[in-house]
Each structure stands twice: as C-alpha cells, then as structure tokens.
C-alpha cells in the first residue's frame, strides 16, 4: 500500500504530471519523485502506470516526457480545440495581411492560456507558446481577458503583486484599473513593451453566443514599426469574424467564461 494516506492516488498522479514545466519537459524518476513530493517506490509505481496508459513516455536517455495519449485527451477540451479550429482561418487571414505574430488566448482563473499562435518568419520574437500560461496584466490578450472578467477575478488580480517584466510593465493597481476601463471603452487593448522591450501587441475580444467574452486575439509586432491605431481595426475585425463563427452578433457585454 502507498505511503502518505492523506493523499489519494489521483492527487499523486496529478502531482507527477504537474512536475513537468516548459523549462523541464524531461525528468528522471528521482526528479519526478522529488517534485511531486512522493517516496521513490510510490513514484515508480505511478509512473509505470502512466507509461503503460500513454500519458508519459520514457526516452532512450531514461528521462520521462509527456506522452501523446495525454495530448490527444487534452485536445478534446472544448475551449481549446473547437475554438482553435473556428479561429484558425481568420488568424491565417490576419497573418497574410500583416505577416506579424497572431495569437489566440483564453482565461483560466487568474492566468491566460495560449491555445494557438502563428509566428511570422521575420516578425519580432515572442515569449509565448501554445499551451503556455502567462499573467493577465501585461499582454494585450491578457488585458482584454481581464477587462471583461468577472469583478471578483479583477479584484483578485489587482490585489496580488503584479510582476514586472520590463520597466514599462504596469504594476500599479490604480493605473491598471484605469487601463481596463479604457479597454472596455475602446474595444481593444494595447500592450506597449510591457513584456519585452522590442514588442507591442494589439488585442481584441472574441464573444460567445450570449455576447460574453470567451477569448482574445492579438497581433504582436516590433515596437519600432508599430501603429496601434492602424492595427486595432484589423484585430477587432478578426475578433468579430471569429465571434460570428461562434454564433454571436453581439459586442462584448459579459464576463469571460
């Protein structure tokens, strides 16, 4: 019988999966046990089960990585795959017009998750990746998602320490609150060098059938060649097109799902 009676088998399995990060995509059994805070024999048994099911794969180097079976299951998430498939044609059109980075994100609790991106070959480098999480207060898509989030989510973000990524990142709650009001007034957000000092993003909301904001789309361009006023109508039009694909004719009027 496993030790640690206070933890269920499910919690131990989830802890093992949660041990993987973008910075550590391959881990040894000892590393997995340590990160999941499990005895090595317990970790060994649970990892063997995960490998047998396909959630983990063991490489020739002896390290474990996330398996394709887990990716297949994750792709069934309705806010990921379905939205991505509906949005991708519009994202491709936006890329063809601009040849800049195009990103699609949804909110999960007090973070955002990128569910698709198209990277321009000669566009400014970005820190994002599909499936990656990021803070809401700094990016264009994050500002849109936060602006239309429920009041309790906004207050939770505003009450917590706001990480500073560059000298221009907004970390003052009062200033961020005013910025969110401006997003709701104009219908788009601009993040000017708040994540990296060479990039500017312009983002717009995507609405679901009832007019609630369910996602955000953005263009990320090099700061020195950015014109937010010119880019905003393009991004807003893309957001409206995807919203219509989701079955809405409303503008943003609700909370993020």
Query: Model confidence over 104-156: pLDDT tens digits?
Result: 999 988 999 898 999 877 767 666 777 788 999 999 999 999 999 999 999 99
Confidence of residue 188 (pLDDT cuts 50, 70, 90): very high
> Does residue 23 or residue 43 have the better pLDDT?
43
Q: Give the chain's domain count.
A: 2
pLDDT at 254: 47
| Domain co-membership, 116 together with 168 | yes
Per the CB < 8 A criterion, the answer to whether 26 and 59 are in contact is: yes
| Domain co-membership, 35 together with 121 | no
Q: What is the dihedral of CA 67, 73, 79, 83, to 10 degrees?
A: 80
Q: What is the mean pLDDT of the chain?
A: 87
Confidence of residue 4 (pLDDT cuts 50, 70, 90): low
Asked whether residue 75 carries a pLDDT value surpassing 80, the answer given is no
Asked whether residue 257 carries a pLDDT value surpassing 50, the answer given is no
Residue 61 within any structural domain of the chain:
yes
Angle at the Cα of 116 (from 110 to 121), degrees rounded to 5?
125
Domain boundary among 29, 44, 71: 71
Sheet holding 133-135, edge to edge: 133-135, 111-118, 101-108, 213-222, 199-207, 189-192
Residue 254 within any structural domain of the chain:
no
Per the CB < 8 A criterion, the answer to whether 227 and 201 are in contact is: no
| Domain co-membership, 33 together with 157 | no
pLDDT at 255: 46
CATH number at residue 105: 3.30.450.40
| Domain co-membership, 179 together with 147 | yes
pLDDT at 190: 95
Segments of the chain assigned E as strands: 56-58, 64-66, 101-108, 111-118, 133-135, 189-192, 199-207, 213-222
Portion of the chain with pLDDT greater than 90, in percent: 60
Residue 253 within any structural domain of the chain:
no
Residue 223 within any structural domain of the chain:
yes
| Domain co-membership, 15 together with 138 | no
| Domain co-membership, 175 together with 55 | no
| Domain co-membership, 193 together with 89 | yes
Q: Distance of alpha carbon 245 from its chain centroid, rounded?
A: 21
Residue 234 within any structural domain of the chain:
yes
Instruction: Show the tokens assigned to 172.
Output: 């003052």
| Domain co-membership, 172 together with 95 | yes
| Domain co-membership, 162 together with 241 | yes
Instruction: Show the tokens assigned to 165.
Output: 């990524």
pLDDT at 164: 95
| Domain co-membership, 24 together with 125 | no
Asked whether residue 222 carries a pLDDT value surpassing 50, the answer given is yes
Domain boundary among 20, 42, 71: 71
| Domain co-membership, 113 together with 51 | no
List the domain range (segments joined by +) for residue 40.
Answer: 9-71
Confidence of residue 178 (pLDDT cuts 50, 70, 90): very high
CATH number at residue 65: 1.10.10.10
| Domain co-membership, 156 together with 40 | no
């Amino acid at each position: 019988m496993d030790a640690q009676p206070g933890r269920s088998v499910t919690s131990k399995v989830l802890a093992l999966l949660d041990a993987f990060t973008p910075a550590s995509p391959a881990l040894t059994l000892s590393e997995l046990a340590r990160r999941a805070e499990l005895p090595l024999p317990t970790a060994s048994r649970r990892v063997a089960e995960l490998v047998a099911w396909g959630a983990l794969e063991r490489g020739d180097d002896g390290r474990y990585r996330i398996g394709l079976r887990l990716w297949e299951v994750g792709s069934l998430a309705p806010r990921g795959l379905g939205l991505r498939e509906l949005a991708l044609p519009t994202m491709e059109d936006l890329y063809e017009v601009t040849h800049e980075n195009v990103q699609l994100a949804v909110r999960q609790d007090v973070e955002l998750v990128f569910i698709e991106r198209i990277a321009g070959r000669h566009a400014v480098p970005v820190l994002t990746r599909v499936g990656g999480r990021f803070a809401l207060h700094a990016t264009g898509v994050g500002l849109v998602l936060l602006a239309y989030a429920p009041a309790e989510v906004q207050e939770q973000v505003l009450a917590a320490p706001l990480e500073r990524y560059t000298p221009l990142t907004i970390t003052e709650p009062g200033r961020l609150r005013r910025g969110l009001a401006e997003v709701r007034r104009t219908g788009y957000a601009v993040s000017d060098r708040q994540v990296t000092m060479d990039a500017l993003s312009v983002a717009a909301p995507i609405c679901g059938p009832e007019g609630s904001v369910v996602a955000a789309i953005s263009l990320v361009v090099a700061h020195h060649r950015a014109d937010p006023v010119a880019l905003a109508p393009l991004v807003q039009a893309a957001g409206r097109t995807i919203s219509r694909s989701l079955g809405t004719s409303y503008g943003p009027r609700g909370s993020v799902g």
